[in-house]
Chains A and B, each alone.
Chain A
Amino acid sequence: MDDENLLFRALADPARRTLLDRLHAHNGQTLAGLSQGFAMTRQAIAKHLAVLEQANLVATRRQGREKLHYLNPVPIHEIAERWIGKFERPLLGALADLKRSLEGERP
């Protein structure tokens, strides 16, 4: 399967998107940390993480005895660049800021 199919297949699963959200909130977590509060076995989560790593959406680093998982934003950036032209980007940034401020988040 080519890289692009791996990427979109990895993103197609809601559990895997939740794992990415969790890494986005707290980058550099162990499997044990990521498994907390998930109604799924650790083995199932490890499989999802392997799919994410194969798609280059997650990078892992060893730190002592621990394996830490990091969200790799590079492929997401490439998806965005593919369909968002440089002339549209400032406008979309402004719209995203507006949405965030209207929804009460700090822009």
Chain B
Amino acid sequence: MTQTAASTYVYVTYIRTTVERLWTVLTTPELLRPSWYDMTLETDWKAGSPWLLRFPDGRVADTGEVLEIDPPRRLVLSWRNEFMPELKAEGFARCTLELEAVAGAVKLTVIHTMDRAGSLFIEKVAGGWPRILSNLKSYLETGEVLLKP
């Protein structure tokens, strides 16, 4: 069986919007917050800059670095969990977001990968991404997040 020594999940959703609008929502903390468990994202979106996600109560959830940014199509982040010691111990994962215009919609692909087999972190985020992507879809298509965390 072909297996690489990495843990990877790929998430794909189609959203009826434009790449520019989706990019704006993804990179504007106030617009992203309703889709993202009410967390706040802090960064200046420059390649090499740090980023962090904060819980509503102020605790830091995740941190990393902006590795690549190519508006409005591609964003690559390093990513480490900060609030669960066993996940933090795995170190930095890599998250790639790709936006691609398709007929009347945008194909959003999220690839979250960790250079080790059986990563607990990658398993844990596998529960979160589908909800965040569904939220982004409802937010952009209807203006509302139907599914609160």
Show the binding face of A for B, using Cβ within 8 Å: 3, 26-30, 32-33, 36, 56, 59, 61, 63, 66, 68, 70, 72-74, 76-78, 81, 86
Query: Looking at the complex, which one of A59, A61, A68, A74 makes contact with B130 (CB distance below 8 Å)?
Result: A74
Contact status A74-B134, CB under 8 Å: yes
Count contacts between A and B, CB distance < 8 Å: 63
Contact status A74-B133, CB under 8 Å: yes
Contact status A59-B8, CB under 8 Å: no
Sampled A-B contacts (20; CB under 8 Å): A27-B9, A28-B4, A28-B6, A28-B8, A29-B3, A32-B2, A36-B1, A56-B12, A61-B10, A63-B4, A70-B9, A72-B12, A73-B11, A74-B12, A74-B130, A74-B133, A76-B130, A77-B130, A81-B134, A86-B147
Indicate if B109 sits at the interface (CB-CB under 8 A): yes
Interface size class of B (residues with CB under 8 A): 20 to 34
Indicate if B24 sits at the interface (CB-CB under 8 A): no
Indicate if B14 sits at the interface (CB-CB under 8 A): yes
